[in-house]
Homo-oligomer: A and B are copies of this chain.
Amino acid sequence: MGGDRGPAAVVAGLVDSAQADSALHFILHGDEGILRPLLARHPMIADRVEIRHAPRTVTMHDKPSQVMRHGEGTSMWSTIDCVKQGEARVAVSCGNTGALMAVSMIRLRKLPGVNRPAIACLWPSRNPGGFNVMLDVGADIKAEAEDLVQYATMGAAYARNGMNLKRPRVGLLNVGTEEHKGRAELKVAHDHMMAAQEAAGFDFVGFVEGGDIPSDRVDVIVTDGFTGNIALKTGEGTAKLISDLLKEAFGAGLLSKFAALLALNSLKRLQKRIDPRRVNGGVFLGLNGTVVKSHGSADSTGVAAAIRLAAQLARSGFNDRLAARLASAVAAGQDAAVQENGQEK
């Protein structure tokens, strides 16, 4: 209900997904009086969509702390509760990110051993799969060294289950690749990731720079939520600027227009490759349940992409695997601590 384009875009994306994947079932949360007419046009999927009436809507301007305390009765709250009760395997929302994280935290609770949950996004890259994972891109504005190490474990689990990478390569975002560079907590996190890579099942490639985010020398980029959010939006803004300039360039002059017509297929392929709607879906990691956050401004294509990602994660049993991995990483950390203490004696 609370996305920038309203419930019509969400329903349209749901309909596309239901038609593309006949095994999917949906529980749609929101104002029944608005949702029922939107669905009525699609009788073919009626038996796979249940409407769950929620009288209230979280808007983009609501403060997370307010929604956390007084959010009951909103479509967002109802959606997350549905995952908590085990009725739904995964939640998808286009709403207020901060509020969604707050409601998810309070209803689903953090996985054992997790201090700060994170939001992971996919980033177009030079890797064979076409995408890299970056986290945190905005769950929290800060992260201690140990949070960053957990992000590495969680991001690697996501890459393993969501992208079929057996042993993802993890890099820690910094202003240089030399080991003496960057903030104090990054140097600590660097050493801890080096030690954690075996138990957590990833290869640590060390520090990476902003230019490496779309590169093929890394699969998972770890950073704090402030830096990650700035990087994500900077990348999107740059891609949008170039795409607009490209359109402008091909719009100028008859010859260019003719050329663009000829090059249409090439340009379409490129546009598809970097289309942010195709990689739509930030995944909340570190909670007892999977939540996929679609872009607030997602259209039906974007919503369908988020649903596809959600379905894939649910089918792979991602969250159970992540929980197991975190538990073993914690155990390995304790073992290491015990060993260290033993040696000290």
Bound: A47/B250 CA distance, A? 46
A253: chain B residues at CB < 8 Å are 265-266
How many A residues have CB within 8 A of the partner chain? 62
Q: Does A129 contact B (CB under 8 A)?
A: no
Q: Which residue of B lies closest to A64 (CB)?
A: B180
Given A141-B183, A242-B242, A233:B211 Cβ within 8 A = yes
Bound: A253/B63 CA distance, A? 52
Given A239-B242, A259-B263, A249:B270 Cβ within 8 A = yes
Bound: A273/B124 CA distance, A? 23
Bound: A61/B210 CA distance, A? 19
Given A182-B226, A266-B250, A241:B210 Cβ within 8 A = no
A241 touches which of B124, B141, B226, B236 (Cβ 8 Å): B124
A242: chain B residues at CB < 8 Å are 239, 242-243, 270, 274
Q: Does A126 contact B (CB under 8 A)?
A: yes
Q: Does A309 contact B (CB under 8 A)?
A: no
Given A126-B241, A239-B238, A210:B182 Cβ within 8 A = no
